Amino acid sequence: MTVEFIKYHGTGNDFILIDNRKLQIDKKDKDRIDSLCDRHFGIGADGLILLENSELADFKMIYFNSDGNESSMCGNGGRCIAHFARSLGLVTDKAAFEAVDGIHNVRFEDEQIALSMSDVKDMVRRSDAIILDTGSPHYVTLVNDIDTLEVKVEGAKIRNSADFIADGINVNFVEQSGQDNFVVRTYERGVEDETLSCGTGVTAVALAMHRIGKTEGQTVGISTPGGNLQVRFNETNFNYGNIWLIGPAEPVFKGRIKW
């Protein structure tokens, strides 16, 4: 079977997207997904995303990490699939789609795509980190040497520690660069390496930094190795809602593969 795909990236976080409304893709074929995401022998990507029909929204997003396992919400992928859906004529200036953690709304703002994220109420504060779930679980920790930090090594230590080895966790290293601005590098579970950007990760960083008083702003700028993102939110009594992840989504190339 020959399948058409399109390669996207959102601030360097790259994905293979496939229109699967006819349900031709075997979602249990982990080995095939893994091989397609391989950067030497496949297309190369941080993950694979399927667009399917939804009874609850304009479409459904199903996300797989590059290891072939279906995973939790992906913020950068959410913006990419929204752009893809618009290119297919499914939506126009706004959209709503179904994901593993519920319904997400999308607004197209010139060259930027604003994606609504799940509300966040619970954060666990440790002496050296904040742990929270923004659609995916995240560990957020401040560092002073982010440019020279060995993210793959240090991130793997935390992700594979006794507290997180069972389900895994994404690890975000953060350095403040301004009053409402931060630099972030992320080790992503499932990819098991540093990615150039992580949408749920930068969302977690913005909320965590606000919670611990590193910023009072409710619009936070985040710089990642792959580009710049913005997180807007409202906070009431340490509950965070009306959360929006804002940034670009760019198609890279199209092609056909045998499945």
The set of catalytic residues is 74, 198
3-state secondary structure the chain: CEEEEEEEEECCEEEEEEECCCCCCCCCCHHHHHHHHCCCCCCCCCEEEEEECCCCCCEEEEEEECCCCECCCCHHHHHHHHHHHHHCCCCCCEEEEEECCEEEEEEEECCEEEEEECCECCEEECCCCEEEECCCEEEEEECCCCCCCCHHHHHHHHHCCCCCCCCCCEEEEEEEEECCEEEEEEEECCCCEEECCCHHHHHHHHHHHHHCCCCCCCEEEEEECCEEEEEEEEEECCEEEEEEEEECCEEEEEEEEEC
Strand partners, 172: 140, 186
Cβ distance 51 to 89 under 8 Å?
no
Strand partners, 229: 222
What tokens were used for 72? 């939790």
What tokens were used for 67? 């290891």
